[in-house]
Amino acid sequence: MFSHRVKIGKLEVSPPLFLAPMAGLTHSGLRQLILDFGGVGLLSTEMLSASSLPQENPSISPYLFRAQRERPMSYQLLVYSARHVEKAVEKIEELGADAVDINLGCGAPKVVKKGGGVALSRDVKRLREIVSKVKETTALPVTVKIRLGPRTDVKAFEDRCRILEDLGIDALYVHARFDKEPFARPPRWEIAASAKRALSIPVIINGGIFSIEDAKRCLEITGADGIMIGRGAAIRPWIFRQIKETLFDGKGDFDASKVNLLEVWLRFFDYLEGLFLPERRLGRLKEFTHYFSQNYAFGNRFAMAVQRSRTMEEARSRAMEFFEKNETPRVLA
């Protein structure tokens, strides 16, 4: 078994299993679905723009709405300038944040063009200003999420990690792919492991974790203090519980073959209906279904049926037709 907990600043995360920030996915609906199964140690928002965040209304914003049970929670900030930091951090403190994460890993062209995400990781002067301002503004644990850099250069990657540690961050999240690599590319856990060897703060590894075996191999290869799961949590919202029970509790009592996929999908549907304004629901249902459909051998038919839907009601009707014809799922190991 692996260590049951990790300390990030004053925050103890147990088990050391983290939900990754994902645009269009890491909202209250998915977070609550994950909590229904249990096993997650730290939840996250999706990426939040520090410049527009102070104007968001948390009672209706799909980016900020959260239920009381959604804790502990990290808020991830996309920051272009240090002048946006103070108000953004004050806002998330008002919302009950347990940690603040700075995005250095987003490679979306529109983000990079404005100097955010991976572009910020290359601008050391501006990076120092932003991280220092965050540390100055809050007593919350401060983390940073990065990628491996533009190419294979372990020394440059380690140097970048040390700069962040020297700035006083409390933990580092490493997405084990290069800056422009797609998700289809297998994660480079061996390179990510160099961050753990170089730093004294906790290092959490993200990328390519879809099963208990993936999680075990990642921890063994990297020596990481924990793992962060993204798309795997949308495919199988019960994955945190599986990993917790097997790798951290040594029990493995949870039987994924008994998960009723229809009930899970309908519960997510109901969360969207109950939590968000009508215009904020269908897109999120389609995004989730794109991943969740991978539990079926012919899940592409399920995903396409929902993608073609113009209303929530139509999506539900088409989904029910699929479920009636496909009672036997392919539950991933």
**Which CATH number belongs to the domain containing residue 137 in this structure?**
3.20.20.70
Which of 201, 229, 254 lies at the terminal end of a domain, its last residue? Answer: 254
- Is the residue at 190 inside a domain? yes
Question: Final residue of a domain: which of 225, 254, 283?
Answer: 254
Q: 142 and 264 share a domain?
A: no
Same domain, 207 and 102: yes
Q: How many domains does the chain have?
A: 2
Percent of the chain with pLDDT over 90: 87
188 and 266 belong to one structural domain: no
Q: How far apart are CA 138 and CA 130, in angstroms?
A: 13
Q: CA separation (Å) from 216 to 34, 172, 191?
A: 20, 20, 17
Residues 263 and 247 in one domain: no
The reply to whether 141 falls in a domain is yes
Classify residue 1: in a domain, yes or no. Answer: no
pLDDT mean over 130-153: 96
SS3 (DSSP) at 19: strand
Looking at the structure, tell me whether residues 274 and 291 fall in a common domain. Answer: yes
Domain check: are 30 and 91 in the same one? yes
Instruction: Round to whole Å and give the CA distance between 246 and 249.
Output: 6
> Token pair 């239920």 is at which residue?
67
* Helix runs in the chain, H state only: 28-37, 85-94, 109-113, 118-122, 124-137, 154-166, 189-198, 212-222, 231-235, 239-243, 261-275, 282-292, 299-307, 312-325
**Do 64 and 278 form a contact (C-beta atoms < 8 A)?**
no
For residues 143 and 230, membership in a common domain is answered with: yes
Domain assignment present for 102 = yes
Q: At which residue do the structure tokens 């503004």 appear?
A: 137
| Residue range 216-236: mean pLDDT, rounded | 97
Could you tell me if 270 and 238 lie in one domain?
no
Question: What span, in angstroms and rounded, lies between the C-alpha atoms of 63 and 59?
Answer: 10
Strand partners for 9: none
**pLDDT of 140 over the 50 cut:** yes
Position 333 scores a pLDDT of 47
Which of 254, 276, 294 is the C-terminal boundary of a domain?
254
Q: Of 22, 43, 106, 205, which residue is the catalytic one?
A: 106
Residues in the chain: 333
Q: Are residues 161 and 304 in the same domain?
A: no
Query: Which range of residues forms the domain containing residue 188?
Result: 6-254
Asked if residue 141 and residue 268 are part of one domain, the reply reads no
* Residues 10-37 as b or e (16 or more Cβ within 10 Å = b): ebebebbbbbbbbeebbbbbbbbbbbeb
Query: Which band of pLDDT confidence, cut at 50, 70 and 90, is reported for residue 317?
Result: very high
pLDDT at 327: 67
Residue 184's pLDDT is what?
Answer: 85
Q: Are residues 84 and 173 in the same domain?
A: yes
106 has catalytic annotation: yes
β-bridge pairing 6-8 and 11-13:
antiparallel
**What tokens were used for 242?**
């599986």
296 inside domain:
yes
312: left (phi over 0), alpha (psi -120 to 50) or beta: alpha
Indicate whether 303 belongs to any domain: yes
Q: What is the pLDDT of residues 242-296, one digit of tens each?
A: 999 999 988 878 888 889 999 999 999 999 999 999 999 999 999 999 999 999 9
Residue 199 lies in a domain: yes
Q: Tell me if 332 is assigned to some domain.
A: no
pLDDT in tens, 71-90: 999 999 999 999 999 999 99
Distance CA 66, CA 82 (A): 27
What is the chain's mean pLDDT, rounded?
A: 94
Q: Are residues 262 and 248 in the same domain?
A: no
